[in-house]
Chain A
Amino acid sequence: MRMTVLEALRAAMAYELDNDPDVLILGEDVGTAGGIFRVTEGLQNRFGKYRVVDTPMDEKGIIGHAIGLALFGMKPIAEIQFSGFIHDAHEQIMFCAAKYRWISGGQYTVPMVIRAPSFGGIKGGIWHSQSIESYYAHGGGIKIVCPSTPQDAYGLMLAAIRDPDPVLVLEPVPLYRALSGEVNENGEASKIGVGELVRSGSHVTAVTYGPLRHTTAKVADELAASHGIETEVIDLVSLIPYDIDLLTESVETTGRLVIIHEASETLGFGAELAARVQQRSFGSLQAPIERVGAPDVPYSYRVGDEYCRPNERRIAATIKRTAEYSF
């Protein structure tokens, strides 16, 4: 069935609510209103107020209570209204949810989903445009996935709900309604940790995730047409763990890597990718690994979408420079 990213997320949650009585959704405005983006629209009517729960405006409380629910065998899906509001719950996520299994010697587990509508491009300003992945990728115990197509959204949401560990789902806000595609509603979960080869190319590898996957693929097509530069585009889809083999196999063919993400460059996820790729594929590299990310500045309401978030011009310039680089 053809559906938007938003509808695919909803379909996956509805499927699990239908099939697993332990699943419940909690968050601010998720019930009657169906969430401020309407991702959970209609679910409270269908499953009732005990399974789709409107909570107080308290991110730390939402995550803390979801942890308790999960400790006792429920499968909570906690919605954070915008990723920029998640930080109040940082300790609960990183030092409680992500650590219970380890600190208890495996006696207690916290299988839960944290939904975080993420990324820029919606004229949202600093708190409604955040790329939070680096804050949550550090130190272990929580998986991070980042779907960028309706099928990924469906399969990864199912995977996240069924996972035995906490999973942070970075939902691509600018794609919620902008993108639609076929979704096989077969109830099958995707595998976390598997990236996608979006476009083949032999000159340079461009790795990205989230909404910029589509921007990067478009730039790659244009560079092929205008300059004959063939860019291999990889969408990581999962960040913890990420698909290192897909990435290094590509880099070992092209010898050149550009990393594109919306987060600030310093200690962004690209820093991890660059470090790992140079360690594994040092002998193959024919150019410095380049990053296209946000500068280390907050996200402006008026010009953030144009000048903070990587745009087509910056991505094109960096891919071209890297493809043409010679020692």
Chain B
Amino acid sequence: MILADDERRMLGGGDGPAVQAAMELLVKYGEVLGAERLIDTDNVCGANIFNAQQRKLAGGSLDDVFAQISLDSPGGFEIPRVRAHSCQLIGPMDTLEWQVQGVPRETRDAILDSESYSARHGIHLMNTCTPYQVGNVPTRGEHCAWMESSAVIYVNSVLGAMTNVEGRESAAAAMLTGKIPYWGYHLPENRHATVHVEVTVDVTTNRDWGLLGYAVGKVAGETVPVLTGIADTPNLVKLKHFGAAAATSGGVEMYHIPGVTAEAQTLEQALGGNRPALTVKYGPAEREAAYARLNTTAADTAVDLVMIGCPHASLDQIRDVCDLLGERTVAPGTELWLFTPRGIRLLAERSGYGDRLRAAGAVLMSDTCPAMGRFVPDGTRVIVTDSAKQAHYLPAIMGVQGWFGDTGECVDAAVTGRWEGNL
């Protein structure tokens, strides 16, 4: 790779051993990718709140844990404050409802310690998978270094920011150096669509968008799809569900919906003037297949947990759950958990939704989710969610059955304790 003067200085240790370790990692990473150079970034989202497993494996001080887990370096040096604007993504624990999660006090203390270490190093504690919902809204063309596949696909596609899906180590190195390999979606020519998805069914509800995303991810894999035939103008929540699902079933990091997303007004623009390598239809059969695949892990209809907020819920989604509940309460033996960024949780409390949810027996949580924190209520066998992403991951991670449906079906399941959803 060709390195600029400041990059060579960092690599040579001129900015201290931690920055040197970070630059060494970026150079190795860039060489494996085949990147020609690095590019400056001042918008990094990473994950440096360490759980018990990571702290045990790395041992030593939090500087050493950061060096080993986040920089793949033996450590033995102090970590300086981050150079780039940096955010903490979703983490392992809700700092308020940790007891609901079943986190032991000792673990809570260790995680709080890790969190305040990040804050002292200048990392903003957004603690969400959706930084774009709470103020980190990259501009079009802004080079970013973000982790979290559902956030990457959102900011690339909807906003026109430029980032690859980074990992813990590359994001941490970007925080310390303000650099990331110039590869993939940082290059304009890689952002055109090669797969054309012709949508022939109505796509209107959040569930529709989740199903569409799950189907598109499966066919598009790593490529950039362009979708036509969508009559409805989707809002943030629908595109959030769509992107999260497409990034889950495949590896989609960028898509176009002409007239909706940032970089294409027309199909031709989305394709960059080329013919699509593949054209596929998304019709009733594809929609049914996606629904069936999402529900393959479930058979029993007695529901233990209803999970809303993957990716983290917006204030509107929280309000919708309150309205769907009405005066009803959550069934005994069933839990209704909502997850949102801590910033939106504060708004939800101020807007009265926190009280309404508590009165119904639901729990509003932030900072984490069951898949990330690896927790469900004791004895849980069956979960229900309105998120294709969570329905995909949580059964694998927690060994439970998972039903996927729309938000209304999920709230009904919480109230009755039974799953009665269908397509």
* A-B complex is real: no
Interface set of A (CB-CB < 8 Å, partner B):
none
Interface set of B (CB-CB < 8 Å, partner A):
none
